[in-house]
Amino acid sequence: MSDERLSVRTQVLLWTAQRASAAVLAICVVVHLATIIYAVRNGLSAAEILGRTRGNAAWAAFYTLFVAAIAVHAPIGLRTILAETFSWRGRALDITVLAVALTLAMWGFRAVYAVLI
Amino acid sequence: MSTLCVAVWRGQESGRFQEFDVPRRESQTVLDVVTYIQRSLDPTLAYRFACRVGMCGSCAMTVNGRARWTCRTHVDKVGESGRLEIAPLHNLPVVRDLVTDMTDFFDKWARARGQFQGGTTRKDEFARVAPDSPARRLADAAIECIGCGVCYSACDVVAWNPAYLGPAALNRAWTLMNDARDTGNRARLAAVAGDAGCHACHTHMSCSERCPKQIAPTASIAGLKRATIAAALRGDLGDG
């Protein structure tokens, strides 16, 4: 376990970012689930989804916001879960969850890019 | 006269429950039961108490799985089945039997800057604090804590995060934040913020549920969260 810790201010801003992203997700998840239930006709496939959303700037903007909120929210929560469950704290943990954030953002924005083009 | 079967923790971190039969009496408290065991059945039993009337906060133990003041817990309320299980408080090292080491608990009060820090001398006028001012009301809601450790013992986050300051220390910090005479709030906010401070609280509210004084440390912690976020956004939250 490393003793290098984020500054107190950074810790507080991370907590704030997680709460703010949770508020965004509360709306996005409801819209997302309602849209799935309403729109899916022939199973949940990439072709089905892209066929209905491709080229639609509004959906691209919505999912850009959704992905950004997930990429902020999930890794900060994971950081707390890993710390409390495995007593894993310090620089290595922070770098790991930053990698998770970048991976989630990359996967998510790749899907949004497919909607845009 | 009926008897009560009482399982009492013996030993330190490792140990076992020892069973005693204790005569059941009218208006009997759990502290009466422990005292009977020590005075009449086994004088080697270690436990801690002082006032016996809910003022000192030293007799808190885990009774049938819940942290309580034993002096203010009647057997009628917890021993309906004719059986009691009495253990030391959780989340604190056990010295022996029912006695815990409160050092960490009180060190965290100091780490949360729980000391009053005044800015005046005896030559200055008395501070005038209106009893109905919003800050005084907030301080009133939290100020009656007597440091018994029940909330600390009931808190899951303390168990998961040993550096966490805990509900009592944070509640104390919140009373001082609302004390118009105190001048230490800037450093106090830095001391109570972050992963080991108020932001570690998951709002389970076990502290508020179990507090024998009906204080709500969860509300105090929420107040600290608001104050520290405002300071962090202003860039006024240095490392404490």
What type of residue is B105? F
pLDDT at A45: 83
Q: Which pLDDT score, from 0 to 100, does residue B195 have?
A: 95
Q: Which residues of B touch A7 (CB under 8 A)?
A: 239
| Surface-to-core class of residue A5, CB atoms within 10 Å of its CB (0-12 exposed, 13-18 middle, 19+ buried) | middle
- List C-alpha distances in Å: A51 to A56, A65, B133: 11, 21, 62
Cβ contact A8–B194 (<8 Å): yes
CA distances from B66 to B78, B156, B192 (A): 10, 13, 27
Structure tokens at B110: 């100091």
pLDDT at A1: 39
All domains of chain A in start order, with CATH: 12-116 (1.20.1300.10)
Domains of chain B with bracketed CATH: 3-100 (3.10.20.30), 103-234 (1.10.1060.10)
At residue B1, the pLDDT reads 67
Q: Which residues of A touch B199 (CB under 8 A)?
A: 11-12, 15
The partner residue sitting opposite A12, judged by closest CB among B160, B161, B229, is: B229
Determine contact, residues B188/B176, Cβ cutoff 8 Å.
Answer: yes
Cα Rg of chain B (Å, integer): 20
Helix ranges (DSSP H) in chain B: 30-36, 75-78, 103-111, 134-142, 150-154, 156-160, 167-177, 185-192, 206-210, 217-234
pLDDT band for A52, please (50, 70, 90 cuts): confident
Among residues of chain A, what percentage have pLDDT more than 90?
A: 73
Would you call B110 helix, strand, or coil by DSSP? Answer: helix
- A91: pLDDT strictly greater than 70: yes
Closest chain B C-alpha to A57 CA, distance in angstroms: 33
Are B13 and B24 spatial neighbours (Cβ–Cβ below 8 Å)? no
User: Does the structure show a pLDDT above 80 at A39?
Assistant: no
List Cα–Cα distances, B14 to A44, B96, B100, B150, B205, in angstroms. Answer: 55, 10, 13, 21, 29
Tens of each residue's pLDDT in chain B, 240 residues: 699 999 999 999 999 999 999 999 999 999 999 999 999 999 999 999 999 999 999 999 999 999 999 999 999 999 778 899 999 999 999 999 999 999 999 999 999 999 999 999 999 999 999 999 999 999 999 999 999 999 999 999 999 999 999 999 999 999 999 999 999 999 999 999 999 999 999 999 999 999 999 999 999 999 999 999 999 999 888 754
8 Å CB contact of A5 and B232:
no
3-state secondary structure of A10: helix
How confident is the model over A95-110, as a mean pLDDT? 97
Among B157, B200, B232, whose Cβ lies nearest the Cβ of A9?
A: B232
Contacts of A12 in chain B (CB under 8 A): 193-194, 199, 228-229, 232, 237
* pLDDT value, residue A2: 43
Q: What is the dihedral of CA A98, A99, A100, A101, to 10 degrees?
A: 50
Phi-psi region of B30 (alpha: psi -120 to 50; beta: other; left: phi over 0): alpha
Q: Residue B228 and residue B222: Cα distance in Å, rounded?
A: 10
Distance CA B106, CA B143 (A): 16
Beta bridge partners of B8: B18, B86
ipTM of predicted assembly, 2 dp: 0.86
CB contact under 8 A, B193 and A11: yes
